[in-house]
Amino acid sequence: MLLWKDEMRDGLFEFGLLYALLVGNFCYQSNGFVKFYDDRYCLWKLMKLTPIVALALFTYFHGAGLNERSRRLHALGIVFGGIGDWLIGNSKEGIVVGAIAFGIGHLFYMSLFVPGSFKIAPSMLIGAAVWGLIANQLCLMPMFQEHPIPVAIMIIYSLLLTACFILSYSQYALGNNKLQAGHEALWYRFIGFALFYASDNLLIFDHVGYPVPLSEVLILGTYYGAQFLILKGQIDCEVAELSVAKPRKKIS
């Protein structure tokens, strides 16, 4: 059984090394993900997107154990994340349309894991709600009267991302329809969304003018880690769910 599970996930470790090298190269070439506001800006955007493009291609054409539907939906989630990332990098105002793209990507992710369980961990719900109110009050509400539509879009996106964060933790803490609470696969998915949640919170605070030390490294470092760990969590969950499924009886 262990050998079979390893074969299902064959290629993920090797791709993970390539993905880390692409991210590391971008970090090195840009002196810590720092934007170039000169003739190298196009190169900066290309290097920024390369790891995400590679992740989407790996997911769609290989999948490391994902079924065809999951490969397609998860790859779309990554692609829309890449589009959002590109839009945010284009201009300061790009954060709003970028949020729309990221939100669509999160809907694709949610379609793969939310049907597994609708249990909610009350402690995480309360904690995330309190933090969301604080963050929105500090970063978004001061701009609401002057820019109501962009702020509304950002709030809707923040609710969507928070839902992913809460639901992924709830499945880890309480289990889902097929896996028990505390399962390693559910842990990877939760950590992925936790990193995404952290990345976007750092981004919005930095965007509106609050000082964030090492902002470029923290925002993009957590983002790249999030995308890979969400994929790993989805792969591990599907492999684990297959392993606990009731085996068919052999016909003699």
SS3 of 158-204: HHHHHHHHHHHHHHHHHCCCCCCCCCHHHHHHHHHHHHHHHHHHHHH
Q: How confident is the model at residue 41 (pLDDT cuts 50, 70, 90)?
A: low
pLDDT at 38: 60
Contact 27, 35 (CB under 8 A): no
Span 43-52, average pLDDT: 86
What's the chain's length in residues?
252
CA distances from 240 to 7, 43, 150, 179 (A): 13, 40, 41, 8
Could you tell me which of 89, 106, 92 has the C-alpha nearest to residue 48? 89
Q: How confident is the model at residue 126 (pLDDT cuts 50, 70, 90)?
A: very high
pLDDT at 94: 86
Q: Which of 2-16, 67-81, 112-126 has the highest mean pLDDT?
A: 67-81
d(CA 26, CA 46): 9
Could you tell me which of 15, 117, 113 has the C-alpha nearest to residue 73? 113
pTM for the predicted model, two decimal places: 0.90
Contact 233, 189 (CB under 8 A): yes
pLDDT at 2: 44
